[in-house]
Structure 1
C-alpha cells in the first residue's frame, strides 16, 4: 500500500522564505529567476519532495489560494508502466489533493509520502488543479523529468539521485578533465569542455530499430560493443554505425499530440474533497506517436519522449548514452535542442506569459520575459544532465525579439550566449558540452543562401561549431551540376571550415531530395543520370556516394556528419501523425517520394502499405497518381478539405466507396504517415546491405578517426591543395593534397564527384603534389588506384598516403 501523502507546513514555509530571499538578493529579475527556476518542478530526496509551479495566469485571474491544490496519483502497488504486448492497462492509484502555498506568482509545497519513480517502479504522478467559476482546471509541470503518458498527461516524480548513481558510465564522467579522461576536453573557465567529435552520425530513434525505442538502440550498441571486445565480425547493418566518435540524436523531447486520435490517460471517478484521499483507476496507454521530434510544445522538454521509450522509463535514455560511452572507443552523444519555437498546441500547456504570438512554425515564445528566459535555459540544463556530451541548437536564427523603437526584429545573441554558458553535472562532474549552432541568418530573407556566412556565432564563441553551408536543407546532391554549382561553398569548407559540421546527408537534405520531381529524361530536370538507373538507386548513391564520403572524411576540414538512414539505403520522408490541421497538406507535399523509394514490387510486398491497401489502393501507380492529384487539388483549393474532397470525387478516386469526404482525406493521410513510417524502419533494410560496401565505408570513416588533424583548415594559400579539374568538360573531378602538422604524413584525394567516366593523372594535377612515394589507402569499389592513368566513373575516388 502507499504511504499517506501530506503537506509539510514548516518546510514549505522555509521554501517560500528562500524564494523571497532570491527576489531580495538580486536587483535583476532575470538573475533572480535563474535561481528560482532551479527549484521548480518536483525534486525528491530522502522521502521528501519539493514542488514548485510558476502560475501568473492563476494569480492574475484572481483565483483564491485555497482553490488551488496539488493533486497526487500514487499507484497502490508496484507496477511497471508498460509490458510487452499490452496496449492499455488499468492501474489502481490513491488520489490525494493537498493545499499548496502561494508566493507571488508561484505556488510551492513540500510533501511527504510521494513515491519516487525508479528503474523498477512507477512513481507518483502530480499536477496542479484549481477551481474557477465552479469548473476544475489542470496545470501541468513544464519542468518535469518524466511524462509516461504523453505531454498532455501528468508528470511523474523521478528519483534523480538514484538514476545518476546507477548509471553504467559514471567513470566516464568522473574522469573528464583528468589524465584518465575517455575523450579529449579543454579547459574553459575552470571546467572541462568536451572537444568536438572527429566524425558524427545523425540518428532518428523512431526508425533506427524495429520497435523505434532508445532501449532498442542501447541494445544494438551493447551488442556491437560485445562483438568488438570478443573479436566477432560485425554485420553490415552494424558496420554502418561504426567509424564515428559522435552521434547526434534527432530531438527526443515529448511532442505534441493529435487532438482527436491521441488520448493516452484518464482517471475514472469524481474529484474528491480538498485534503481527502480515495482509490481511483488510472487507465493508461503507451504513447504511440510518429514524429521527427521537432514538433515540441516546450512543456516537459526536460523529459525524454515517452513514444521512444519501450518501458516508459527515462532510464532508457541513460542506458543508451552509457552504451555509447562504454564502447571500446567511446562515442559522444549530441542532443538536438529545438527551443526556438513551439508547436501550436503549446498554449494549452504553458502559462500565457510564455507565448508571444503566432510564428512561422507555430508559436513564438517571449524570450525577453525573465522567467520564460530562465525556464528555457533550465529546461536545456535538465535535459542535457541526462548525460549528453554536446548540444546542437536547432534554428538559432529563430531566437529573435522585437524592438518597437526601430520597429525591427533582432537576433537574440545574448540568449544564445546564455545557452552556451549552461554547464552540466553528471556523475559528480561539472563540465561544459561541445556547442553546435544551426544558424542560417539572414534566413528567411530572400537572399539568405548567398548572404549567410554560417559563421556569426563562431565569431562570438570561437569554441563553438555551426552547420556548414553544404549541410543545410536546400542542398540536393542528386541534382546534376550540384558539385559544380556548389564549388564556391565547398571551397569555403576547405578554406575556413574547421568549425563547421559538414556532410550532405541529414534528415532535411534527404527529405528535400525526395521532394524533387524525378524526370523521365534529360530535358525535363537536371537529375544526375550517372547515379543510377531509377529513383531508389539515384537517391541511395546521392546521399551515400563513395567519392562524397571520401571527400568529407579523408580530405575536408570540420566534422563530417552522415545520416544513419542514408547509410542504410533506407527510405526516408516526412512522417508524423500528430498534426490535426495540416496533415493532408504535408502528405501531398511528399507526392514524389514513391518515385524515389517505392517501386511496384515493394508496394506489392505484403509487409508494406497495409493501411493504404485497406482503403482500396491496391496498385502502386494508382497511389502515385492519387497523391499527385491530392497535391494539385490542394494548391488549387488553398487546402480547404471540403473543396478538395468534392473536386477529387468529381475527378475520380481510387479510395474505396462512392463518395470522398474530408474525413476520407484525413484518414488517407494518417494511413500514409503510418505506412511510410513502417516502410522506412531500418529493420527492413539492414539485411539488404552489401557487406563489402558497408565494410569499405567503415574504413573510410576510420581513416578520419586515425587522422584527427584533418579537422583543421586546408592551407589553400600555402603548401596544400584543393581544386577541381579545369575545364570540367562534362565531369566534375575534385582533388586535394594535405600534409599533417608534424610533417610525418601526406594525403592525396582524387574523386569523380559527378559525370561520366574520366581519366586523369593524379600527381600531375598540381605542381605542389609530390610525384612519387604514394601508397593507395582507399579505393572505392571497382576502382584501380593507378597514379599514372586513373580512370574514375561517377562517384568513384581514391585516397593515397605518403611518408615524406
Structure 2
C-alpha cells in the first residue's frame, strides 16, 4: 500500500522570472567575460553567483553552468528552473519515507554562453524554522524530462541526488551565535598568525587537536548532538563542576578536526531518499526522507559539497553545522574547528550529478576531476569557499598528493601545486570578517609510488607555503603501533618530527591509522613483526593500548614539536572500522577485507551483549567464532575468485553457515547487516562505562600540559636534545631535553623519558644526563634540580628514580627556582 500523500504547496505567489533584473544579471556576466582575458580569472568571478542566492529584497538570483545542455543543442526556450514548493508543514528532519505533493512551477531562464541565469520572484527561502522551495534545472526531451542539480547548493535536505533547497545563507550568517568571535578576529592580533600584504589575516595554528567522526561521536549521530555535548561540557566547566570520565576525552584541545561533513554517495539498491512518482497539473509527487547513510565521510560526490551532509542534520537544517561551531567557540577556552576537505575523493556516482567536463577519467577513489578545465577549477575553489564560510577556523586538505593533472606534452600526470596554492589563497567571510583559515595538507607524495614510505619528505607543501602545516610521517596512514618493534623501526621518522616537526600534525591515532590497526593480520608470518605482548592480555586490550597509552600521549603532547592530534574513538578505547553502506558494487568485498576487525575489536561478551550485532544475529549467526569463520572464508573466496559473487557463493556453500542455500543476495544481505551493526557497535555512547577515572584524568592533564606550553610546538633547537638508548637491552627508551626559548614566562626546562615498548626500565635525571654525556652532539644538560612534573598514575617514583613499564613515561621539570645552571 502506498504511503499517504501530504497536501500541496501553500504559496500564493507563484514563482516567475523578473525579466529586467535578469537582463541586468546577464549584462553583468558579459562585462565579466569582456574584462577578463583569462578564462579561469573570469570563471572565478562568475561562479560566485552560481547556485541560488537570496537578493536584498527577498527574490532568488539563480545561475547554472550548463555545458552539457549547450553541447546537446537544447534550445534556450526549452530550459527551465523547476521550482517545487513544499507543504508548509513538511519536516525535512524526518527519516521516515512518505509521499509528498509539491506545487511545480517552470520558470524560463536566460542563456548566456554556457550559463543560464535568472532572478525569480515567489520562491520561499529556507531558514532554521522553514523548509524553502526546492529547485533544479529541467528540460524536456523526446524521452521525457531531464534534470540538472545545483552543484553549488547550500542545502540538500533529501540528499545530493534530489533537488536542492533555496536557502537563506545570509540570514544564517547574520543570526549565528558566535558573531562576536569573528568580529574580533585579528583585533590586537587575537587568534591570528600572520597578516599578508593584502591585509587579510590568517588564523593562528592550534596547540593540539582532536579528530571526531560526527556520525558515531554521540548516540544521536548528528551535529546537533555533538553541539549539545560540547554545550553541556561548557556549562559544567563554567560552573566549576567535575567532568565525567568519558567527558574528559572531549577536552584539553584548542582545535577539533571534523571528519568530512559533505553530502555523500548513495546506494542505488539500499537508499531511496527522493523518488518521483508522478507529475500532473502543476504538481509533482515524490517519496522523500532525510538521508541516513552509514559512512565515515570520505565517499563524496562533489556536487553540493558546499552544503552539510543531511545525514548529520537531525533537523534537516544547515544551521546545525553553525551551531556546533558556535558551541566550540563559546567554550571557556574556545576551540577552533577544522574542516576535512576531501575533494580528491570523487565517488563514481558523482559523474551522474556533474557535467562530463568535471571528469578527467577514473581515479584512486572513483573519478579523477579535471582541474585544468577553467570553470571546473573555479567551481571547486568556490565549493571550498562556501563550505568554509560556515565558520571553520582551519582546513585540512585530504590527499593533497592526489590533486594531479595531465600534461599532454609529456603524457604524464603532475602534482597540480598551482591549484593547491589557489586553495591556500581562498578568503573566507563570516559575520562580516574576512580571514584565511589555518591551512593543513595531508600530502605523502610520491605516494602511491612503491617507495613512497621511504621517499616522502612530508614537507613539499610546507616549503611552498611556510605558514601551512602537513600531516607528519607517523600520522599518515600506514601506522601500526600494536606491532612489536614499531617504535624501534620507526625511530628515524620519529626523529624527523623532532628535527622538522614544527609545522607537522603529529600523533599515532586518527581515522586511518586505527583502521589500519584493525586490518593487521593477528598471525603474521615469519617476516612480519609479532604483536606487542606487553600492551595487553587480549587483542582488544592490545589495540586499545596501542593507540592510547601514556608514553605515546606524553611523547607527542609533552615533548615533541608540531600539533599533536588524537582520535576521539581511540581516546574512548572504542571500536572502529571502515564503516559505509553506500557501495553497491564492493560492499561484500569491503566487509571481507574487514575480517580482522572481529579479532581485534569484538570479544565474545560483546557479541553476546543484546545491544550489539542484532542484524547478523537475525541472519542466524550465534557466536563471534562462527562469524569469524564465515568472514575468513568470505575473504579467501573473494580473493581467489577476483570478486565473482556467484562463484564466491558456490565456494562457501558446502561450509558451515546459517543460510539455507547461499546466494549472492545472501552475501549482500550479510554485508549490509555487518556494516549497520559495526557502525552501531562503534557509537561512543556505548563505551562511556569503559572509561577509567585515572586514565582519562591523566590524559587530560597531559593535554593541558601542552596547552600551558605552546612553545613546545617549535622544532627542537641546537640546545635541545632527543635520542633513544642503545643498545636497547630489551627496551625502546626514548628520552630528551627541551628548554623554553628566551622570553617565555617560566623559563623552564623539561626532561622526558618514555618506555615506548619492551621490558620495565629504571630511569632518573642523573642516569639520562649521564647517557647524554656519552654523545658528543648532546648539549649540556643540568643534572640537579629536576622535579617530577607529569607522572602517570601507575608509575612509581622512588628517590628520584622512576620504573617505567611498557608504554609508560615521565616528564621532569626545572625552573629558575630550582637553581638553573
Q: d(CA) in 2 for partners of 1:409 and 1:710? A: 39
Q: What pairs up with 1:697-712 in 2 under 5 angstroms?
A: 697-712=699-714
Task: Tell me the SS of whatever aligns to 2:662.
Answer: coil
TM-superposed deviation, 1:788:
4.3
Task: Tell me the SS of whatever aligns to 1:530.
Answer: coil
Return 5+ residue gaps in structure 1 as ranges.
273-277
TM-superposed deviation, 1:674:
0.3
Deviates more, 1:770-779 or 1:703-712: 770-779
TM-superposed deviation, 1:91:
3.9
Q: d(CA) in 2 for partners of 1:105 and 1:50? A: 17
Q: d(CA) in 1 for partners of 2:525 and 2:33? A: 69
In structure 1, the residue matched to 2:378 is: 374
TM-superposed deviation, 1:475:
1.0
The answer to whether the Cα contact below 8 Å between 2:765 and 2:786 also exists between their aligned partners in 1 is no
Instruction: Tell whether 2:194 aligns with 1:186.
Output: yes
In structure 2, the residue matched to 1:55 is: 66
Task: Tell me the SS of whatever aligns to 2:796.
Answer: coil
The answer to whether the Cα contact below 8 Å between 1:401 and 1:409 also exists between their aligned partners in 2 is yes
TM-superposed deviation, 1:15:
0.8
- Of residues 229, 240, 243, the one that matches 2:252 is 243
In structure 1, the residue matched to 2:675 is: 673
Deviates more, 1:143-152 or 1:764-773: 764-773
Instruction: Tell whether 2:51 aligns with 1:41.
Output: yes
TM-superposed deviation, 1:760:
2.6
Q: d(CA) in 2 for partners of 1:353 and 1:607? A: 48
Q: d(CA) in 2 for partners of 1:783 and 1:521? A: 35
TM-superposed deviation, 1:184:
4.1
The answer to whether the Cα contact below 8 Å between 2:93 and 2:313 also exists between their aligned partners in 1 is no
Task: Tell me the SS of whatever aligns to 1:642.
Answer: helix
Instruction: Tell whether 2:429 aligns with 1:425.
Output: yes
Summarize the Cα distance change of 1:341–1:280 in structure 2 as closer, same or farther, 3 Å threshold. Answer: closer
The answer to whether the Cα contact below 8 Å between 1:519 and 1:525 also exists between their aligned partners in 2 is no
Instruction: Tell whether 2:315 aligns with 1:311.
Output: yes
TM-superposed deviation, 1:282:
4.0
TM-superposed deviation, 1:427:
0.6
Normalised by the length of structure 1, the TM-score is 0.97
Instruction: Tell whether 2:724 aligns with 1:724.
Output: yes
Deviations along 1:400-453, one digit per CA (max 9) or x if unpaired, are: 111121222110000000000001000100001000000000011110100000
Task: Tell me the SS of whatever aligns to 1:538.
Answer: helix
Instruction: Tell whether 2:414 aligns with 1:394.
Output: no
In structure 1, the residue matched to 2:809 is: 797
The answer to whether the Cα contact below 8 Å between 1:731 and 1:752 also exists between their aligned partners in 2 is yes
TM-superposed deviation, 1:521:
11
The answer to whether the Cα contact below 8 Å between 2:93 and 2:317 also exists between their aligned partners in 1 is no
In structure 2, the residue matched to 1:749 is: 752
Normalised by the length of structure 2, the TM-score is 0.95
Instruction: Tell whether 2:77 aligns with 1:66.
Output: yes
Deviates more, 1:753-762 or 1:255-264: 753-762
In structure 1, the residue matched to 2:698 is: 696
Q: d(CA) in 2 for partners of 1:685 and 1:414? A: 45
- Of residues 20, 23, 27, the one that matches 1:13 is 23
Q: d(CA) in 2 for partners of 1:523 and 1:357? A: 38
Task: Tell me the SS of whatever aligns to 1:123.
Answer: coil
Task: Tell me the SS of whatever aligns to 1:798.
Answer: strand
Instruction: Tell whether 2:254 aligns with 1:252.
Output: no
Q: What pairs up with 1:605-684 in 2 under 5 angstroms?
A: 605-650=609-654, 652-657=655-660, 659-684=661-686
Q: What pairs up with 1:216-235 in 2 under 5 angstroms?
A: 216-235=225-244
Q: What pairs up with 1:492-511 in 2 under 5 angstroms?
A: 492-511=496-515
The answer to whether the Cα contact below 8 Å between 1:762 and 1:790 also exists between their aligned partners in 2 is no
Return 5+ residue gaps in structure 2 as ranges.
1-9, 774-779
TM-superposed deviation, 1:769:
2.6
Instruction: Tell whether 2:765 aligns with 1:762.
Output: yes
Task: Tell me the SS of whatever aligns to 2:723.
Answer: strand
In structure 2, the residue matched to 1:739 is: 739
Q: d(CA) in 2 for partners of 1:610 and 1:589? A: 21
Deviations along 1:139-179, one digit per CA (max 9) or x if unpaired, are: 00000010000110110011111101111100000000003
Q: d(CA) in 1 for partners of 2:89 and 2:170? A: 20
Deviations along 1:244-293, one digit per CA (max 9) or x if unpaired, are: 00000000000000011111123443255xxxxx3444432121101111
Q: d(CA) in 1 for partners of 2:265 and 2:204? A: 34
- Of residues 96, 106, 127, the one that matches 2:105 is 96
The answer to whether the Cα contact below 8 Å between 2:15 and 2:123 also exists between their aligned partners in 1 is yes
Q: d(CA) in 1 for partners of 2:70 and 2:306? A: 25
In structure 2, the residue matched to 1:436 is: 440
Q: d(CA) in 2 for partners of 1:221 and 1:91? A: 36
Q: d(CA) in 1 for partners of 2:359 and 2:663? A: 35
Q: d(CA) in 2 for partners of 1:130 and 1:413? A: 39
Instruction: Tell whether 2:530 aligns with 1:526.
Output: yes
The answer to whether the Cα contact below 8 Å between 2:524 and 2:530 also exists between their aligned partners in 1 is no
Q: What pairs up with 1:429-578 in 2 under 5 angstroms?
A: 429-519=433-523, 525-578=529-582
Deviates more, 1:281-290 or 1:364-373: 281-290
Summarize the Cα distance change of 1:76–1:671 in structure 2 as closer, same or farther, 3 Å threshold. Answer: closer
Alignment: residue pair count: 792
Task: Tell me the SS of whatever aligns to 1:601.
Answer: helix
In structure 2, the residue matched to 1:31 is: 41
TM-superposed deviation, 1:327:
0.4
Task: Tell me the SS of whatever aligns to 2:653.
Answer: helix
